[in-house]
Amino acid sequence: MTDELVALVERRVAEAAALRWDDLPAGLREDVALVLADTIGVVAAGARTAEVGALANDPVLGLGPAGAARTLAPGTPRGDPATVAWVNGTAGTFLELDEGFRPTGHPAIHVLPAALATAETVHAGGTRLGAAFVAGYEVAARLFESFVLPKPMHPHGHFGALGAATAVAMLRGDDPVALVRIAATQPLLTGWSACYEGATARNSWTGHANRAGVQASVLHRAGFTGALSSHLSVVAPYAAQPGGLRDPVDPGTLRIRRNYLKLHSACALTHGALDATVRAWGQLRGSPEQVAEVVVDTVTVNLRVDRQAAPNALSTRFSLPYAVAAAIRTGGTGPAAFAWRPDVAALAARVRVRADPELDARWPDAAPARVRIRLTSGAAADALADNPHGHHSDPATRAELRDKFVRLGGNEAAFDALTGFAAVDDCAALPLP
């Protein structure tokens, strides 16, 4: 099976790398521009955290005023593309607002930092960046789609590196299959428990994937070779939907159009319940102190985050009970809502989460959640979310994404400039927030 999988992946990589910006339908190009601008806004917001700011300014990294590529950290320290891709890729998951693809995975944050840093370095135009981003996304998304990982294994840091390598190869004129083989020889061992405990080094997994994509080109030029089988032989037993690899790459059915953009600062597995919570809570006239019980019925996959949070702002984002309680207690689901608070944790203890077989039947096309809130007075309300707002079946509008960009510290002019990236002759001149 591994030999067959290797051949399929390599065929899809070659097809994706042949994509050109003008091959893409106009509507898809507009979607790509929104994903690019949204992802850069999320990276910039994550780069303003204390940890990423300190990382970017650590003298060991050698970043400073000179360098081919720009980080999005305060002061915009610059450096070599591999280090910049690592820093920006790490920043992109700090607030859990990076876009995603179902049934699992987050292709954009695994691919765009590497593609952007490389495009700046080689002074590629916006259309070349766009084509490389779409192709890298396609490779990563098809791999995420085609494998069910071992239960303890988190999707960050491995398949995405192959997408990053595809994008880098296109921008540098390298052999994309050769770079993907090298990137596949450097997988990460990633586990959900780091998210649950709040181990923020976990945020570097996407950074490592981006750096692996850039370094694959460096290694290739130096004469190194790689083996795609070294990675696929580990995950091959978990291949569940190989159709995602068997179908040829088609500009009309690219996976980036089937993604979701996050509007809540938490793990995507909480988002349906958060939408339903906001609706149900809006029907009640009460205070958080009056909440007697909250019941969440949802799909089995979301039970992965049915756990009480440890007292830190990463663990809270991976607790469905805490996320629901935060929406009720704080009245919001933005970054500030997930700072750990004892009163939110106390309310989270009254949130029950259950799998519903009828809802399960709709996964992964839908990730429904039904939330019922009961007050001590006996008043109750419930609401159902079929898919969270921001999913391609219920997409966020351009205005909503611009508002998100601004709330995260950007401005409307920067958002509009980024969505017009394809008109830029040199990505080194692309305005970044």
Query: Which of 259, 344, 267, 349 is closest to 301 using CA atoms?
Result: 267
Is residue 93 within 8 Å of residue 203, measured between CB atoms? yes
Q: Which CATH class, in words, describes the domain spanning 2-263+395-429?
A: mainly alpha
For the chain, the domains span 2-263+395-429, 268-385
Tens-level pLDDT at each residue, the chain (433 residues): 578 889 999 999 999 999 999 999 999 999 999 999 999 999 999 999 999 999 999 999 999 999 999 999 999 999 999 999 999 999 999 999 999 999 889 999 999 999 999 999 999 999 999 999 999 999 999 999 988 888 899 999 999 999 999 999 999 999 999 999 999 998 888 999 999 999 999 999 999 999 999 999 999 999 999 999 888 877 766 655 556 788 999 999 999 999 999 999 999 999 999 999 999 999 998 899 999 999 999 999 999 999 999 999 999 999 999 999 999 999 999 999 999 999 999 999 999 999 999 999 999 999 999 999 999 999 999 999 999 999 999 999 999 999 999 999 999 999 999 999 999 999 999 999 9
Cα–Cα distance for residue pair 433/425, rounded to 1 Å: 19
- End-to-end CA distance of the chain, in Å? 46
- From the number of C-beta atoms within 10 Å of its C-beta (0-12, 13-18, 19+), residue 87 rates as buried
Is residue 348 within 8 Å of residue 324, measured between CB atoms? yes
Is residue 348 within 8 Å of residue 325, measured between CB atoms? yes
CATH number of 268-385: 3.30.1330.120
